[in-house]
Amino acid sequence: MRQRIRKLSLSVVLCLCARVAAAQPLPTPTAAPASPDFLAHYNFQLSAAVLSNEDIRFTWDMHFGGDVDLVDYVAGRANVLIDYEAVLGNEFRRFDPNQGNYTLEGSSSVRVGGTEIAGVFHHVSRHLGDRPKRFAIAWNMLGARALRRVDVAGVQIDGVLTVGKVIQHSFVDYTWTSNLDVMVRRRVHARVGVFAHGLGELFGVDPALAGRDMQRDGRVDVGVRLEGRAGAAELFVGYERRIDAYPLDRIALRWPFLGFRFVAK
């Protein structure tokens, strides 16, 4: 078993040296400041993941973005999140960016004990690269979010639960969404930590639009975090099931992935 673990670890390192790797930012719970503050906290990430998949439209998944607390008013905070996702294949060239997906989100929260409750407006817009598409593929969601951080015996657990109603949509058939995002971290050295991450999502749909039932997707990944003076690098490996993976096709695809992520401390 130890030999297999060593071989797997070596394979991960070799693959990371040869190709690069990715995921959306997770809004994290924060402690209340002593007094109201401006730009009190921010998360930033740049990530890339290589996908093991037979579909030539999906070989890389990249993200660039983050979230910032515009104002922390002690009882809660106002947060803005922005993320850009580029999906690359090798259909027309070796690195063929065929998708550009934008996520824009605004939220305002209140702290209730150790839990943060937020109202959320969430917008997603999906676009094609180097391919014709003149109609919109997008949706707006209005919902609620609960965030909580728990520390147990040196293990930090961040949980985020979001539910919402789709109040506007173009092309997609979604009517409501919900997701649970959990990140577990443990420090094993002054500058080294390990983590495990899981995300599950449900999408309610209008069967009259595409003749299908509720959709489910999710991802799991594990990795190591290496901290520097101003930021950190995370190396991870995982597995994902993604519904409507290509904007024009209402089908789900699955793939294992391997990646890295640079984040702000």
| pLDDT digits 0-9 by tens, 122-181 | 999 999 999 999 999 999 999 999 999 999 999 999 999 999 999 999 999 999 999 999
Task: Please give the model's pTM, rounded to 2 decimal places.
Answer: 0.86
- Report the pLDDT value the prediction gives residue 27, as an integer from 0 to 100: 66
Domain ranges of the chain: 2-264
CA distances for 32 relative to 35, 68, 195, 264, angstroms: 8, 15, 25, 20
Residues near 88 by beta carbon (within 8 Å), at least 6 away in sequence: 59, 60, 61, 62, 95, 96, 97, 98
**What pLDDT digit, counting tens, does each position of 7-57 carry?**
444 343 333 333 333 455 556 778 888 999 999 998 999 999 999 999 999
Average pLDDT, the chain: 90
Domain 2-264 has CATH 1.10.760.10: no
Coil, helix or strand for 3?
helix
Question: pLDDT (tens digit, 9 = 90+) per residue, 90-132?
Answer: 999 999 999 999 999 999 999 998 999 999 999 999 999 999 9
